[in-house]
Amino acid sequence: MNNCVFCSIVGGKIPAEKFYEDDDFIVFADIEPKAAVHYLAVPKIHYALLSDMPDGGEALGRILKKISALAPELGLKNGYRLIVNQGADAGQTVFHLHIHILGGQPLPFADMRPR
Ligand code: 5GP
Ligand code: ZN
């Protein structure tokens, strides 16, 4: 048993405000929201990074398509931003692949510019 926080959420060992779940992934509210609406889409299989995923990426394609279908119900009628932090320079803190879903307000760009 690893001690990955997102594996624990997937396994129901620690609670989360779950919005959606299927065989491939779950969507739950970020515990420290960085926008008016902030969810995380998390594959159920533990991959630390995109580079650890098997070739093909079909699961990721399905997740992205599903996010677009869920967006109106998530309160994202005016658009949204998806972010996938990869590694230290991106500030990744949880090393279980996840897609941030951000919106519910006009989103600033400042944090996305290279410094
Ligand atoms: P990262 O910085 O790795 O891209 O994003 C990790 C995200 O996971 C952060 O936005 C953080 O607030 C969120 N997070 C960390 N621990 C928990 C938790 O136990 N529950 C939930 N719902 N979100 C978490
Ligand atoms: Zn994990």
pLDDT digits (tens, 9 = 90+) for 30-58: 999 999 999 999 999 999 999 999 887 78
> Is residue 108 one of the residues assigned to a domain?
no
- 89 phi and psi, to 5 degrees? -65, -25
Distance (Å) from CA 47 to ligand 2 centroid:
7
Total tally of structural domains belonging to the chain:
1
Q: With a 6 A CB cut-off, is 5 part of the ligand 1 pocket?
A: yes
Stated pTM of the model? 0.94
Q: Is the CB of residue 74 less than 8 Å from the CB of residue 36? A: no
pLDDT computed for residue 54 by the predictor: 87
> Is residue 43 one of the residues assigned to a domain?
yes
**Host domain of residue 42:** 5-103
pLDDT computed for residue 38 by the predictor: 98
Parallel, antiparallel or unpaired: strands 80-83 and 37-43? unpaired
Q: Is the CB of residue 76 less than 8 Å from the CB of residue 102? A: no
113 Cα distance to chain centroid: 21
> Is residue 64 one of the residues assigned to a domain?
yes
Q: Which ligand sits closest to the CA of 84?
A: 1
Residue 30's SS3 state is: coil
Parallel, antiparallel or unpaired: strands 25-29 and 80-83? unpaired
pLDDT computed for residue 110 by the predictor: 53
Nearest CA to ligand 1 atom 17: 31
> Is residue 111 one of the residues assigned to a domain?
no
Average pLDDT over every residue of 90-104: 97
Give the position, in ligand 1's atom list, of the atom nearest the Cα of 95. Answer: 3
> Is residue 12 one of the residues assigned to a domain?
yes
Nearest CA to ligand 1 atom 12: 32
Give the position, in ligand 1's atom list, of the atom nearest the Cα of 98. Answer: 4
Q: With a 6 A CB cut-off, is 28 part of the ligand 1 pocket?
A: yes
The CATH number for 96's domain is 3.30.428.10
Q: Which amino acid is at 93?
A: T
